Amino acid sequence: MILTEKKQYDRDYILADQGLHQAVCVDQFEGITEFLNRDTGDRLTEEQIVAAGIIKRDDGVWMGVPDTVKKRDTIWLGFELDQNTPEDDKPLSIRKKFTASIHERATLRVFLERWRGRPFTDGERAKFDTETLIGVPCQLNIIHKDFGSGPRQLIDFAIKETGEAMKPSGHYVRNKDKEPKTDETPTPQASPQEAEKTEPVKAPF
């Protein structure tokens, strides 16, 4: 029998070329809420979340988060690139996850300010609607990294598009328009209570 080493990451996965790409933002959506151990920084598993007594009310508010655990809300931004797939000639897409914060040291704010080429205004710091990013062009620097399971493409940074702006192709299906998965683990729920909600204000990019 002739044996060969088979790498665990053998798969048909198309990576965008490294370097600067013309791109356009085509998606933004709320990611899952993550819970981290404050001492180690490790992300809690579903079982650990339940064991810690952390529950989510019907109105979306999390309750029972102990002092030893840090709650982190996340947001994803999705982009189409100027490089197409060889099979169907559609634009490659790429996403990046951020902590949902525009604090002055937050990664999202640093990313957006470099992209836009200007700092946030007072009004934007008070409320910024990430939906205003949809359709906005940019240049993305793409890098490749191997985390042990094969090379992955990552967004390094974004800068303002100064040339001809790329437009959405129309092929990308936004996360909010996709069919919901039926095999997701249900989130622990508590009795509903009314929570204060404020509508975001549209801010020009």
pLDDT value at 173 more than 50? yes
User: Do 35 and 49 contact (CB within 8 A), yes or no?
Assistant: yes
Share of the chain above pLDDT 90, in %: 72
Spell out the domain ranges in the chain.
Answer: 14-31+74-162, 33-72
Q: Which tens digits make up the pLDDT trace of 153-165?
A: 999 999 999 999 9
Structure tokens at 187: 């989130």
Please give the biggest Cα pair distance in the chain: 69
Upper half-sphere CA count for residue 158 (Cβ side, 13 Å):
30
Q: Which residue has the higher pLDDT, 45 or 190?
A: 45
Q: Which tens digits make up the pLDDT trace of 42-89?
A: 999 999 999 999 999 999 899 999 999 999 999 999 999 999 998 888
pTM higher than the cut 0.95: no
Mean pLDDT score of the chain: 85
CA angle 132, 134, 140 (to 5 degrees): 115
